């Protein structure tokens, strides 16, 4: 009997991991046993990185040391910034610019020629994680005609990015919200980009190669681009002057789908969406502008009433993350790069974990091509 074909590796177990677990039936996400709600509300992104990379939550002293070491790696060399500037001037897409710059960073890593070992992987990973926000903020400022802002080592990972992006230190609500968003996106099992990074890591390639591959996988519209799609829909609704529910009804009557609903794993509302909905409320109350909150909650209520959730098509994290980022003043096409800025922590953790007991990932494909083809020499074809 022929081996059963599992398209998209649906349901295929390829590895064991201590890092994260997703229960799509009940809407649960855990990192190393800790519920995502507890981590998002009680831990900083730096604590979550430490947890993913080192296996436990840090003590206060361990966190202080880890955060200082991470902040010390934020500076990016002039050559990389000039490349970022050239990419921005050429009109390159942010994810493509990030992919190029991340690959270039390896040329300046002091561990690049070191022996392959887990500690070197984590040191390199720390540098990548620290520098990606600097690269992204510089890219956005350059294409807006502004000078890049140097990182501030006194600010948190989340606060520093918002500072480098805008030139102004964020208020407490904005910093806390963005920090939560980073935590919520840090890891999510063997999604497409994480699996890509892990496959590359299984060849014992360096972690820069794995992260660069992860960025490439995340850039696809079926993986990392849904939050941008949601925001573009909200802007389209706003421009139409239609009631959001009527707009959605018309869209569905025309055979269209609403981005931000449905997930490959979750059959109920994504637990990350619940948290970001709350933070969108906080931001809306802080700014006095509730438009996106009103739109998203009205759409969710309508689609829920239409029975989508009962069919396993519920709001995912992207349904609310776009509105949160917009409220923070982040441009729409930077949403997926920010996703990468967070998920890099998970990519690095999975590469390091898999390489501890490495086996080259090498699946098979069922051959369906012709058989016994007769070769004809070139001059007789």
As annotated, the active-site residues are 263, 318
Pairing of strands 28-31, 20-23: antiparallel
Contact (Cβ atoms closer than 8 angstroms) between residue 32 and residue 274? no
Taken in order 54, 57, 62, 64, the sign of the CA dihedral is: positive
**Tokens 């020629």 map to which residue?**
113
Strands 34-35 and 28-31: antiparallel
Distance of alpha carbon 103 from alpha carbon 216, whole angstroms = 11
């Amino acid at each position: 009997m022929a081996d059963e074909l599992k398209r998209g590796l649906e349901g295929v177990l390829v590895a064991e991991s201590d890092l994260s677990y997703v229960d799509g039936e009940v809407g649960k996400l855990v990192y190393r046993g800790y519920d995502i709600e507890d981590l998002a509300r009680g831990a900083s992104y730096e604590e979550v990185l430490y947890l993913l990379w080192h296996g436990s939550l840090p003590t206060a002293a361990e966190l202080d040391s880890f955060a200082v070491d991470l902040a010390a790696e934020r500076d990016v060399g002039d050559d990389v910034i000039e490349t970022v500037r050239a990419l921005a001037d050429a009109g390159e897409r942010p994810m493509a610019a990030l992919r190029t710059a991340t690959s270039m960073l390896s040329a300046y890593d002091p561990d690049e020629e070191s022996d392959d070992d887990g500690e070197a992987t984590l040191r390199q990973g720390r540098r990548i994680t620290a520098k990606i926000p600097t690269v992204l903020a510089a890219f956005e400022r350059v294409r807006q005609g502004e000078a890049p802002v140097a990182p501030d080592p006194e600010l948190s990972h989340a606060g520093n990015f918002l500072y480098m992006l805008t030139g102004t230190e964020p208020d407490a609500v904005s910093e806390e919200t963005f920090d939560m968003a980073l935590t919520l996106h840090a890891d999510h099992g063997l999604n497409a980009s994480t699996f890509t990074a892990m496959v590359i890591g299984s060849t014992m390639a360096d972690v820069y190669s794995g992260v660069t591959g992860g960025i490439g996988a995340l850039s696809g519209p079926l993986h990392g681009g849904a939050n941008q799609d949601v925001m573009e829909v909200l802007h389209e609704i706003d421009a139409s002057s239609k009631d959001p529910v009527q707009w959605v009804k018309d869209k569905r009557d025309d055979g269209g789908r609403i981005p931000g609903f449905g997930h490959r794993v979750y059959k109920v509302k994504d637990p990350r969406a619940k948290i970001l909905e709350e933070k969108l409320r906080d931001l809306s109350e802080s700014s006095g502008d509730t438009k996106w909150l009103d739109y998203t909650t009205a759409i969710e209520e309508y689609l829920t009433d239409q029975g989508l959730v009962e069919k396993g098509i519920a709001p995912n994290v992207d349904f609310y993350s776009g509105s949160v980022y917009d409220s923070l003043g982040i441009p729409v096409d930077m949403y997926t790069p920010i996703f990468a800025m967070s998920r890099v922590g998970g990519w690095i953790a999975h590469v390091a974990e898999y390489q501890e007991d490495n086996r080259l990932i090498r699946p098979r494909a069922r051959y369906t091509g012709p058989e016994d083809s007769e070769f004809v020499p070139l001059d007789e074809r």
